[in-house]
Amino acid sequence: MRWSFAPVSALMLATALIAGSGPAKAEPLAQVWIDTAAATLGEPVLLSLRLTHDPAMRPAIPDLPVLLAQTDLEVIEGAPELFQGTRPDGSHGTDLWFRLRSFSLGEHQIPAMPVGFIRAAGDTLIRYTQPLSVHIAAVRDEGDESLRDIVPPRAIGGGIPLWLAGMLAALAVVAFVFVLIWLLQRRRSRPEPLAPPSAPIDYVAELRRISTLGHLERGEHKEYYSLLAETLRRFLEEVTGIEALEQTTSEISSNLRRAEEESTVREVITFLGVADLVKFARFVPELENARRAPDEAIGLVNTIQAARRKREELARQEQARIAREAAEGRARAQMPSVASGGRSVAPPSKGGD
């Protein structure tokens, strides 16, 4: 009896392909949410940070108390609850839980958090979470509409008559108005000294100066990158007009695309993103990369200045062309009309035959 091995070989090949193929490595993901969007004064709010990444990646956890330093929210516990490994749904990553509270009424903003994912080769990917808002309301029992802790006014005997107090108050107001008018007139009559114009900032020299302050030698990476990022933000604010010192990196990215080339915008956002990781996520870059940071910032400054000079030169050339064409048009309009015979035609006299 003869056996055919073709079906068996095909089955073994299909089984090997299925066993060898695995799920494609997904890009790292950072998600954040809160258990409630409305809380009362001092009531804890649970903030969950879910980081999905490959087992070979190492996340740079953001420093939430530093991020919330400019807000009215505070972290109750010093260290967050942490889970790291494979979840029940099969995904791998890191989960963190923070407990927040606030003693200030109104709407509060939780800013976008930069999260770094560091591969084994040392490459770093930056992901930003979405900003969240939570409303803090006053504490009041259900159905309680009466005012609390309100003490009625006390009646104090004696004192001065009411009409005399009113006259004294009116005299005080009149005297205050006269003094205010006199001060205003005196200030107007005195010429204000002109403030000397401030010298322009040499941002290239400032970046080079920061590289010589010795922050890296002392291990002060946060101060080092903070100075570099603040200098670059001041330069962007002066050149482009955007409020770079008051905006987040994602806001600068959307506003800068209206004024600069896409490639330049990507380099600026990458530089500021690494600085955000160092400041807020305690990320420590490699020493050689940190030493090259001032030169990278200087390159961005020179690129943006060169593009700005090119645009200004093109604008001047366009204005000169428009002015030249306007002058030529006026000259043609003032030229006398010429007859077909080559002689100018004189206008008829008023007292002609």
Q: What is the pTM of this model?
A: 0.52
* Residue 338 covered by a domain: no
Statement to judge: residues 125 and 213 lie in one domain:
no
User: What mean pLDDT is predicted for residues 65-85?
Assistant: 80
* Residue 169 covered by a domain: no
Three-state DSSP class for 272? Answer: helix
Interhelix angle 262-280/221-240, nearest 10 degrees: 150
197-227 pLDDT per residue, tens: 566 788 899 999 998 999 989 999 999 999 9
What's 100's domain CATH number?
Answer: 2.60.40.740
* Residue 259 covered by a domain: yes
* Element housing 321 (H / E): helix 287-334
Statement to judge: residues 304 and 225 lie in one domain:
yes
**Number of C-beta neighbours around residue 339 at 10 A:** 8
* Residue 337 covered by a domain: no
* Residue 189 covered by a domain: no
Beta-strand relationship, 38-40 and 132-137? parallel
Of 99, 117, 137, the last residue of a domain is 137
337 or 320: whose pLDDT is higher?
A: 320
* pLDDT band, residue 252 (cuts 50/70/90): confident
Of 137, 154, 173, the last residue of a domain is 137
Of 92, 108, 137, the last residue of a domain is 137
* Residue 324 covered by a domain: no
Statement to judge: residues 219 and 119 lie in one domain:
no
| 69: containing domain | 29-137
* Residue 188 covered by a domain: no
- Count of the separate structural domains present in the chain: 2
Percent of the chain at pLDDT exceeding 70: 78
